[in-house]
């Protein structure tokens, strides 16, 4: 491609709302442009990157025996009514009617459509297993679309669904998909981790997320410093923490006057007792299908509530904040909440099991209770609701856990019969009995990967594409397009590289050299060749984008040098 003819509108201007490098560089580099909030066009270079990612995903999935299909993006509401998700999905599901008043949604995910496709067409265990996938648009009317391609409303997803006769077979496919995903992300040249993920309130079934490691990631992941253990903080476990110091000794269980002392920090200073020996209360309003209720969560003073774990512990759809007025109305004293004598539901963190000699709220303004003993509380009130924090110990091997940030680029899930049962999708087993399909589901954020790659690979000058997904491997920069010798040499090199199968662009634009170098860095081709003044001394320069290192190379060796650089592993 000759850049003089290419549609790659680079610009100095960053989008106003852009804070993240991928958002800034992808727009400035002319890869994408915004159409509306969370909706983007892909320009030629962006499309090339997207297609490369797509091709790698397709190749690996086809190799693993999955089959590609393409389902409608506009899906009938009836299917969503059947699965029970029409109501549940909330505002992210964009619903609309056609001219005949038929109700439709823009597919945010395709479990319903895929079950409807297989239902009635696959009737026997002999036709199983089956793994169908598509790489197709999704629409989610996200509350806060942001960060460019990382959280769009319209985005490209690979979504796969497998159908099995037994749970064992579904688990086998799940492991195969895990291996396949690892191969895909490795080929994409990304540093990633497969982490245990939240499976929701139902629990039991397994789920893993694939996280590209990047400081800007919205997800917090917990990694063991010694073993393979890795989990999303929403699902992370830990070894029960040990007391950091000797427990304080209280001779009595009694109220203690603590005027205006509410925070654990203030209380810890006041009593000279480590936060571990305090009982912290977090009040939330839990939202269920039909009702709402206040729930009080209790934790060790040095722990924080993990809201997803807390939500799952009580089977709620959502936890929302509750105001002091609402608490007071329910007879609760904000800031001084005890786990005793509460009318509403309480949940205590597992780390409080058997706690004695601790300090908790006094259910009375300005009072705490000292010498509290929680060892008599019913087992059923306890659950794992604390957020794992840096320095906690690995549940598998006991080594120190560390926190890191990640971008979720893939998700695999053992679904079971949730959809097949609800939608009455069955097959006949060996005995001729009708059984619901056992399903797995597997997603990859294809357009999100374009941005995730840049979040992980950039510097202050622009993108640094991993070679496998770079829009082109190399650009030849003609320093002075009026110099015929330079132009002729660059043209010849361009043709020779194309011939050798190298993806090459020729920057033959009549712009200043500095301008073209800036574009080279912004777009982030892995390599550049500068054809400049030194050509008269028989030399050109090879630039590595990542290190920005320039190496002089004899003009007759440059073809070989570029081919070697691009092809090296």
Binding to ligand ATP, residues 125-164 (CB under 6 A): 140, 142, 151-152, 155, 157
Task: List, as one string, the DSSP characters of 18-68.
Answer: --SHHHHHHHHTTSEEEEETTEEEE-HHHHHHHHHHHHHHHHHHHHTT-EE
Name the minimum Å distance from CB 524 to ligand ATP. 21
Name the minimum Å distance from CB 300 to ligand ATP. 28
Task: Tell me the window of 373-381, 410-418, 422-430, 551-559 that interacts with Mg ion (CB under 5 A).
Answer: 410-418
Phi, psi of 162 (to 5 degrees): -115, 150
User: Is 471 strand, coil or helix?
Assistant: coil
Residue 265 CA to residue 23 CA, distance in Å, equals 39
Name the minimum Å distance from CB 207 to Mg ion. 8
Instruction: Tell me: does residue 112 bind ligand ATP (CB under 6 A).
Output: no
109 binds, among Mg ion, ligand ATP, none (CB under 5 to 8 A by kind): ligand ATP
Name the minimum Å distance from CB 386 to ligand ATP. 21
Residue 212 CA to residue 388 CA, distance in Å, equals 20
Helix (H) or strand (E) holding 170: helix 167-187
Name the minimum Å distance from CB 14 to ligand ATP. 20
Name the minimum Å distance from CB 323 to Mg ion. 31
416 binds, among Mg ion, ligand ATP, none (CB under 5 to 8 A by kind): none
339 binds, among Mg ion, ligand ATP, none (CB under 5 to 8 A by kind): none
The interaxial angle of helices 446-456 and 21-28, nearest 10 deg, is: 100
Binding to Mg ion, residues 12-71 (CB under 5 A): none
**Best CA proximity match to 349, nearest among 396, 389, 303:** 303
Residue 285 CA to residue 297 CA, distance in Å, equals 11
Interface residue with ligand ATP, options 164, 238, 448, 473 (CB under 6 A): 448
CA separation, residue 179 to residues 63, 409, 476 (Å):
12, 15, 38
In 178-244 the beta strands, taken as DSSP E runs, fall at: 192-196, 207-213, 219-224, 230-232
135 - beta bridge partners? 158
Binding mask 358-397 for ligand ATP (x = CB under 6 A): ----------------------------------------
Number of residues that bind Mg ion (CB under 5 A): 1
Instruction: Tell me: does residue 443 bind ligand ATP (CB under 6 A).
Output: yes
208 binds, among ligand ATP, Mg ion, none (CB under 5 to 8 A by kind): none
Phi, psi of 501 (to 5 degrees): 85, 15
Residues 6 or more apart whose CB falls under 8 angstroms from that of 224 comprise 230, 394, 396, 397, 399, 400, 401, 402
Per-residue three-class SS string for 101-142: CCEEEECCCCHHHHHHHHCCCCCEHHHCCEEEEEEEEEECCC
Interface residue with ligand ATP, options 21, 406, 410, 528 (CB under 6 A): 410
Nearest residue to Mg ion, by Cβ distance, number only: 411
**Best CA proximity match to 15, nearest among 5, 29, 1:** 29
Name the minimum Å distance from CB 50 to ligand ATP. 12
Residue 154 or 507: the one with the smaller Cβ distance to ligand ATP is 154
Residue 533 CA to residue 329 CA, distance in Å, equals 81
Interface residue with ligand ATP, options 46, 445, 462, 528 (CB under 6 A): 445
462 binds, among ligand ATP, Mg ion, none (CB under 5 to 8 A by kind): none
Residue 49 or 273: the one with the smaller Cβ distance to ligand ATP is 49
Interface residue with ligand ATP, options 33, 34, 109, 205 (CB under 6 A): 109
Residue 237 CA to residue 384 CA, distance in Å, equals 8
Binding to ligand ATP, residues 162-221 (CB under 6 A): none
Instruction: Tell me: does residue 411 bind ligand ATP (CB under 6 A).
Output: yes
Task: Tell me the window of 101-109, 245-253, 411-419, 492-500 that interacts with Mg ion (CB under 5 A).
Answer: 411-419
Task: Tell me the window of 104-112, 278-286, 350-358, 408-416 that interacts with Mg ion (CB under 5 A).
Answer: 408-416
Q: Are 157 and 444 in contact (CB under 8 A)?
A: yes
142 binds, among Mg ion, ligand ATP, none (CB under 5 to 8 A by kind): ligand ATP
CB atoms within 10 A of CB 266: 12
Residue 411 or 516: the one with the smaller Cβ distance to Mg ion is 411
Residue 474 CA to residue 184 CA, distance in Å, equals 23
Nearest residue to ligand ATP, by Cβ distance, number only: 445
507 - beta bridge partners? 477
**Best CA proximity match to 410, nearest among 381, 434, 371, 442:** 442
Task: Tell me the window of 161-169, 394-402, 406-414, 462-470 that interacts with Mg ion (CB under 5 A).
Answer: 406-414
Peptide bond into 129 cis (omega under 30): yes
Residue 410 or 436: the one with the smaller Cβ distance to ligand ATP is 410
Instruction: Tell me: does residue 138 bind Mg ion (CB under 5 A).
Output: no
Name the minimum Å distance from CB 158 to ligand ATP. 8
Name the minimum Å distance from CB 21 to ligand ATP. 17
Name the minimum Å distance from CB 231 to ligand ATP. 15
Task: Tell me the window of 21-29, 227-235, 303-311, 409-417 that interacts with Mg ion (CB under 5 A).
Answer: 409-417
CB atoms within 10 A of CB 91: 10
Instruction: Tell me: does residue 411 bind Mg ion (CB under 5 A).
Output: yes
Task: Tell me the window of 39-47, 237-245, 409-417, 554-562 that interacts with ligand ATP (CB under 6 A).
Answer: 409-417
User: Is 559 strand, coil or helix?
Assistant: helix
Binding to ligand ATP, residues 248-277 (CB under 6 A): none
CA 226 to chain centre: 24
Interface residue with ligand ATP, options 60, 349, 408, 507 (CB under 6 A): 408
Provide the binding-site residues for Mg ion, judged by CB under 5 A: 411
Contacts with ligand ATP, residue ranges (CB under 6 A): 109, 140, 142, 151-152, 155, 157, 408-411, 443, 445, 447-448
């Amino acid at each position: 491609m000759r850049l003089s003819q290419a549609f790659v509108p680079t610009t100095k201007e960053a989008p106003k709302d852009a804070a993240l490098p991928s958002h800034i560089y992808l727009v400035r580099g002319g890869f994408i442009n915004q159409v509306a909030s969370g909706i983007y066009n892909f320009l030629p270079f962006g499309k090339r990157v997207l297609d490369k990612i797509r091709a790698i995903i397709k190749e690996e999935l086809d190799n693993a025996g999955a089959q590609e299909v393409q389902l409608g993006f506009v899906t009938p509401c009836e299917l969503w009514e059947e699965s029970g998700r029409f109501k549940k999905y909330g505002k992210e599901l964009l619903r609309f009617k056609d001219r005949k008043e038929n109700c439709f949604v823009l597919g945010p995910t395709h479990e319903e459509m895929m079950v409807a496709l297989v239902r009635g067409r696959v009737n026997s265990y002999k036709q199983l297993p089956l793994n169908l996938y598509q790489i197709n648009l999704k629409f989610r009317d996200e509350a806060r679309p942001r960060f460019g391609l990382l959280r769009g409303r319209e985005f490209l997803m690979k979504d796969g669904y497998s159908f099995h006769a037994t749970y064992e077979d579904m688990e086998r496919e799940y492991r195969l998909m895990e291996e396949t995903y690892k191969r895909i992300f490795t080929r994409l040249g990304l540093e990633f981790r497969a982490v245990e993920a939240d499976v929701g309130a139902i629990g039991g079934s397994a789920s893993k997320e694939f996280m590209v490691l990047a400081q800007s990631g919205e997800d917090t992941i917990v990694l063991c410093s010694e073993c393979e253990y890795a989990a999303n903080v929403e699902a992370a476990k830990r070894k029960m923490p040990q007391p950091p110091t000797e427990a304080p000794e209280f001779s009595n269980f009694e109220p203690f006057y603590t005027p205006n002392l509410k925070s654990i920090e203030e209380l810890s200073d006041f009593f000279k007792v480590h936060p571990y020996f305090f009982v912290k209360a977090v009040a939330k309003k839990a939202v269920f299908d039909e009702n709402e209720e206040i729930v009080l969560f209790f934790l060790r003073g040095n722990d924080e509530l993990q809201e997803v774990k807390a939500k799952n512990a009580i089977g709620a759809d959502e936890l929302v904040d509750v105001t002091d007025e609402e608490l007071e109305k329910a007879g609760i004293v904000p800031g001084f909440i005890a786990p005793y004598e509460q009318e509403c539901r309480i949940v205590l963190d597992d780390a409080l099991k058997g706690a004695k000699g601790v300090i908790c709220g006094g259910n009375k303004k300005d009072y705490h209770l000292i010498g509290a003993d929680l060892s008599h509380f019913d087992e059923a009130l306890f659950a794992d609701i604390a957020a794992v924090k840096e320095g906690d110990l690995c549940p598998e091997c006991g080594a120190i856990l560390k926190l890191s940030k990640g971008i979720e680029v893939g998700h695999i899930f053992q679904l079971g019969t949730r959809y097949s049962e609800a939608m009455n999708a069955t097959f006949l087993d060996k005995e001729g009995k009708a059984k619901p399909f056992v399903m797995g589901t597997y997603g990859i954020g294809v357009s999100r990967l374009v941005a995730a790659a840049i979040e992980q690979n950039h510097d202050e000058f622009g993108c640094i594409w991993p070679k496998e997904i770079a829009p082109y491997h190399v650009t030849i920069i003609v320093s002075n397009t009026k110099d015929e010798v330079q132009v002729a040499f660059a043209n010849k090199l361009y043709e020779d590289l194309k011939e050798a199968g190298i993806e090459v662009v020729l920057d033959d634009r009549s712009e200043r050299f500095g301008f073209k170098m800036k574009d080279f860095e912004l777009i982030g081709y892995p390599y550049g060749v500068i054809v400049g003044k030194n050509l008269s001394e028989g030399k050109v320069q090879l630039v590595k984008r990542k290190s920005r290192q320039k190496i002089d190379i004899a003009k007759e060796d440059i073809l070989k040098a570029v081919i070697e650089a691009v092809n090296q592993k």
